[in-house]
Amino acid sequence: MRIILLGPPGAGKGTQAKIISERFGIPQISTGDILRKAIQEQTDLGRRAKAFMDNGQLVPDDLVTGIVHDRLAEPDCSRGYILDGFPRTLAQAEALTESLKGQRGGIDFVIDIRADLSRLVKRLTGRRLCKNCQQMYHEEFNPTKMKGVCDKCGGELYQREDDTEETIVRRFDVYESQARALESFYASSGKYRPVNGDLPVDQVTREVFAILNH
Ligand code: ADP
Ligand code: ADP
Ligand code: ZN
């Protein structure tokens, strides 16, 4: 099963992607995670992406489409995958369609996690991640049992540098400038499914599974 997750920053793409990944045994491909790792490892990609990410702007399409194209060619993607945070522009969506042409079948579902932006600021400023396994938590909505320590692996939690109010506002602007074009691109494919991302995590998961198991 090949799945795309769309939605604004904080909608719950990463959270739902991890749950789907475990349930269906397919990898989560998060361009944000790949880029953050590249920055941490100070690779050429990381050096080129950092300023854009720090400012809440999109990393140029050619850099990102290249990463995804290579990642999808890896053997663990043969049974499917979940794209989390990609595509984010019409150009990326078109590039993805192009790179899937050589392979059997295309995307099965495009799940758009819709959410009220005004309620997402709190989700993003309270977001905490595990340094070790990247599991997401939230200070208030999904706290760890022990403060600052990952429930899953005992790793240390951190806050993303771009989860500040100033950068969040810029990321919302970027999202809004692209969202409609992406929606209409996929709406015409018949694979587009909106879900209500304002609901609690388990209710969003229920909506998503109802679509995937259909
Ligand atoms: P995205 O990948 O779309 O930016 P995340 O999955 O990282 O979003 O979620 C952002 C923050 O909001 C995290 O701290 C996460 O724990 C929390 N969160 C995710 N989904 C929900 C939800 N449905 N209700 C409340 N909090 C949520
Ligand atoms: P969120 O879901 O909370 O917005 P992500 O981890 O998906 O965060 O993305 C963080 C940042 O990484 C973005 O603000 C952008 O700079 C960069 N990025 C991630 N995915 C893409 C993409 N598909 N195209 C361009 N830039 C991207
Ligand atoms: Zn962990």
- Closest-CA residue to 94 (of 184, 211, 13, 9): 184
Look at residue 103 in the predicted model and tell me its pLDDT: 72
Q: Please list the active-site residues.
A: 13, 88, 127, 160, 171
Q: Specify whether domain 2-116+166-212 bears CATH 3.40.630.10.
A: no
Alpha helices in the chain (DSSP H): 13-24, 31-40, 44-54, 61-72, 90-100, 117-125, 165-187, 201-212
Q: Does an H or E element contain 81, and which? A: strand 81-84
Q: What SS3 state is found at 132?
A: coil
Mean pLDDT of the chain: 95
Closest protein CA for atom 19 of ligand 2: 32
Q: Does an H or E element contain 194, and which? A: strand 192-196
Residues with CB under 6 A from ligand 2: 9-10, 13, 31-32, 35, 52-53, 56-59, 64, 85-86, 88, 92, 162, 171
Q: Is the pLDDT of residue 104 over 90?
A: no
Weakest mean pLDDT among 11-25, 90-104, 119-133, 194-208: 90-104
Which residues are registered as beta bridge partners of 137?
A: 128
Closest protein CA for atom 9 of ligand 1: 12
Q: Which of 86, 127, 199, 202 to mutate to test the pocket of ligand 1 (most atoms within 8 A of CB)?
A: 127
Look at residue 214 in the predicted model and tell me its pLDDT: 83
pLDDT average, residue stretch 36-57: 95
Q: Is the pLDDT of residue 105 over 80?
A: no
Q: What pLDDT digit, counting tens, does each position of 165-195 carry?
A: 999 999 999 999 999 999 999 999 899 999 9
Q: Which ligand lies nearest the alpha carbon of 130? A: 3
pLDDT average, residue stretch 5-31: 97
Closest protein CA for atom 14 of ligand 2: 56
**Domain residue limits, the chain:** 2-116+166-212
Residues with CB under 6 A from ligand 1: 7, 9-15, 123, 126-127, 136-138, 141-142, 199-201, 204
* 136-168 residues labelled b (16+ CB within 10 A) or e (exposed): bbbeeebebeeeeebeeeebebeeeebbeeebb
